Amino acid sequence: MIENPRLPEYDADDAVESAVVKRLANNWGTRATVKKAEPDLDDLFDHDKHDFPEALIPFAEHRTYRDLPEPTREKLRAWGWIAFNKNVMDVEQYVVNPGFSLLAQDAFDTGLGDVLSIAVTQAMVDEQYHTLMHLNASALTRRKRGWALRSRSLPFSATVRRRQAAQSNATDSTGAALSALAFTTVAEISITSYLDLIEDNDLIQPVNRATVKLHNRDEYCHASIADEVACIVFESLNSADRRLFLDGLADGMDAFSSTDFSTWATILDLEEISGHERMLREVEADGSRKKLLQDYSGIRSMCRKLDVEDEIGIEWQ
């Protein structure tokens, strides 16, 4: 491992540090995607591959969708990818980075040392770069397919709306900060399973898989950093604030796994797909449909480590 000479060797005697995070902060310069050469996206584009997996389209098995002509389904799949990118970018900008920023400022008065602040600031740079990667990926899809597919026509996802609601419902700034930290923690510890859904699929556009793969590599490190820092902050909280953080985790997990058809409703409306309201109603009411669950095993093991697995008030799957 190449040590980064710019990182401080020593902090103030009482500063809180973590060996795991220090290792990750030290090798950021050699492992982070933002530090690597960009792949040539145009070369990777394959017109014959799907832009988005049908397995992730909630109505892919419904007759109304199956009966559409292939070019229309192709366009809806491209929309699926545009919406996926928008969701990733919105979560990075409005959920993840605001929480990291609080940590970087030691807003919880934990006494976080320089290395921890550097690690979360590096993670914020990564998130900004991921946003650029997904923006580039959407732009390439629009250019190669020749469709407008405007991201700004789409609403914020349920996760972002729920996070905004939690912020406005918080009774004071401490409550708002703890909720923000909880949402960031849930996002960072469970995003890799969401990204895996695209990375592991052979039928999918190589550019999209490459984008997600590069992103995912950074996220495995973020998951360790988020877990470690959340535990350190949690241990320093009083019992009322611990409760607020745990309630925030439960709220965040519920938000990330909720079924939200508002984006698809907007897309189907824009594409004037006839009968789409009925299709979405039927799919929503169909209890047999496999729910797309986030993988919360990482959050669960963090809670086990903190000895609060049974205090969080959710049914672990």
Name which of 130 and 242 has its Cβ closer to Fe ion.
Answer: 130
Binding-residue pattern over the window 176 to 215 for Fe ion, x denoting contact by CB under 5 A:
----------------------------------------
Question: CB neighbours (10 Å) of residue 234?
Answer: 24
Stretch of 30-38, 58-66, 102-110, 218-226 contacting Fe ion, by CB under 5 A: 218-226
Question: CB neighbours (10 Å) of residue 180?
Answer: 25
Name which of 17 and 188 has its Cβ closer to Fe ion.
Answer: 188
Stretch of 21-29, 48-56, 219-227, 301-309 contacting Fe ion, by CB under 5 A: 219-227
C-alpha dist (Å) from residue 64 to 69, 230, 275 = 11, 45, 7
Question: Residue 91 Cβ, how far from Fe ion at the closest point, in Å?
Answer: 8
Question: Residue 127 Cβ, how far from Fe ion at the closest point, in Å?
Answer: 5
Q: CA neighbours within 13 Å on the CB side: how many for 282?
A: 12
Question: Residue 223 Cβ, how far from Fe ion at the closest point, in Å?
Answer: 8
Question: Residue 28 Cβ, how far from Fe ion at the closest point, in Å?
Answer: 13
Check residue 77 for interaction with Fe ion (CB under 5 A).
Answer: no
* Binding residues for Fe ion, total number by CB under 5 A: 4
Q: According to CB under 5 A, which residues from 107 to 136 bind Fe ion?
A: 127, 130
Sorted by sequence, the CB contacts under 8 Å of residue 246 that are 6+ apart come out as 182, 303, 308, 311, 312, 313
Question: Residue 188 Cβ, how far from Fe ion at the closest point, in Å?
Answer: 5
Sorted by sequence, the CB contacts under 8 Å of residue 48 that are 6+ apart come out as none
Name which of 127 and 251 has its Cβ closer to Fe ion.
Answer: 127
Binding-residue pattern over the window 38 to 57 for Fe ion, x denoting contact by CB under 5 A:
--------------------
Name which of 85 and 257 has its Cβ closer to Fe ion.
Answer: 85
Residue with tokens 């709220």: 251
Given its phi and psi angles, is residue 179 left (phi above 0), alpha (psi -120 to 50 degrees) or beta? Answer: alpha
Name which of 33 and 174 has its Cβ closer to Fe ion.
Answer: 33
Check residue 222 for interaction with Fe ion (CB under 5 A).
Answer: yes
Question: Residue 55 Cβ, how far from Fe ion at the closest point, in Å?
Answer: 22
Sorted by sequence, the CB contacts under 8 Å of residue 96 that are 6+ apart come out as 127, 184, 187, 188
Name which of 75 and 215 has its Cβ closer to Fe ion.
Answer: 215
- Cα dihedral sign for 147, 150, 154, 157? positive
DSSP track, 242-294: HHHHHHHHHHHHHHHT----HHHHHHHHHTT-TTHHHHHHHHHH-TTSPP---
Name which of 178 and 191 has its Cβ closer to Fe ion.
Answer: 191
Question: Residue 131 Cβ, how far from Fe ion at the closest point, in Å?
Answer: 8
User: Binding residues for Fe ion, per CB under 5 A?
Assistant: 127, 130, 219, 222
